[in-house]
Amino acid sequence: MEQPSLTILITTYNHAIFVDNILQTFFGYLKRGLVFSILISDDHSSDNTYEIYQKWAKQIKNLEYYSHDQNLGMDENFKTAYSHCKTKFCWLLGDHRMISFEEMKELLDEVNQEKYDAWILKTRSENHFPTKVYADVNVLLREIGYNITNNASCVIPTSFFQECCYKRYMGTTFLHMGIFIDNLCLKNDFKVKYLCDIFVQNIDIPGEGGTGWSAHPFLNFGVWWYQFIMSLPSQVTLETKEFVLKEHNKITNLFSYENVLRHMLLPNRHVYKSSYLKCRKYFKFVEYRPIFFYDVTICCVPEFVYSILNNVIRKLTGKFRVLMI
């Protein structure tokens, strides 16, 4: 019987419905002849994640489950998943993303041939780069660095985690990217293949909330993003680091004027404001737009103004819906 060379790492916290969806999909792939292992790392969920694992463990042979005794956070959960992986290669998918059967087959074909040191998968629709083999870490980061901020983008040898000095990346929320880039810098030469035809997409389950960090974008892609990029090895040039810092937010429009105004109209705007104030001194390094707009919009406009605007918009939206009916 063929032994799996790839383990899919499902890191999760209180997302039992997503885990169930993923395992159901992967069970279908396995029944159709694909060979891979699955490992669940549960960050002390209080929902029925463990019961979901027990249900599918009866049907999926190569399925493992590990759980923390307390909630330790995302990077510690990533670390647990990496450290328990037994196959030669691993893919940190998370709990709310998926690829099609055809894409999974292509990925396994690539991995089993072992022609490259690692693989990068497409995770953003804005990425229009063709399939390409990279042998220069600076070129890789400048062209598709923003794509690999997504933990599901990198398929790597498990040895990358074992060999890497990963501790300095703990707490940045970019542990996976640090492990990946650090190992490329340690090699005298490498070949990493970007696979543009494999598009990792989010799972959309009606009625289920988001799974991201949207309440704290300034911390994630302000303070932590800056600290992470600047801590990368010296093989990554300062010019590349400065470019990559702003390129992510430029392409994703994370801090666009529209996004900022939308967040300030939400009830939790105080969290958004607090996040910005903690990030402000880093902001000029990660954002290409003038800081004046952010100071005025986030810090100077009284919160009651946004409350009034929000109420007016909701009432107008309600009246518009009535007219449409």
pLDDT tens-place string over residues 171-185: 999 999 999 999 999
Are residue 168 and residue 263 in the same domain, yes or no?
Answer: no
Asked if 120 and 151 sit in the same domain, the reply is: yes
Same domain, 122 and 249: no
211 occurs within a structural domain: no
CATH of the domain at 11: 3.90.550.10
Residue 212: inside a domain: no
74 and 187 share one domain? yes
Q: Shortest CA distance to 202 belongs to which of 131, 244, 150, 245? A: 150
In a domain, 95, yes or no: yes
- Phi then psi dihedrals of residue 224, to 5 deg: -65, -35
Query: Residue 319's pLDDT band (boundaries 50, 70, 90)?
Result: very low
Residue 1 lies in a domain: no
Residues 221 and 196 grouped into a single domain: no
320 vs 15, more confident: 15
136 and 251 together in one domain: no
Res. 211: pLDDT tops 60: no
One domain, residues 116 and 180: yes
| CA angle in degrees (0–180, nearest 5) for 96-100-104 | 100
pLDDT of 209 above 60: no
Rounded mean pLDDT, 38-62: 97
Q: Where in the sequence is the domain holding 128, given as residue range(s)?
A: 6-202
Task: Examine the pLDDT at 210 and tell me if it is beyond 70.
Answer: no
Question: Last residue of a domain, which of 167, 202, 237?
Answer: 202
Contact 85, 64 (CB under 8 A): no
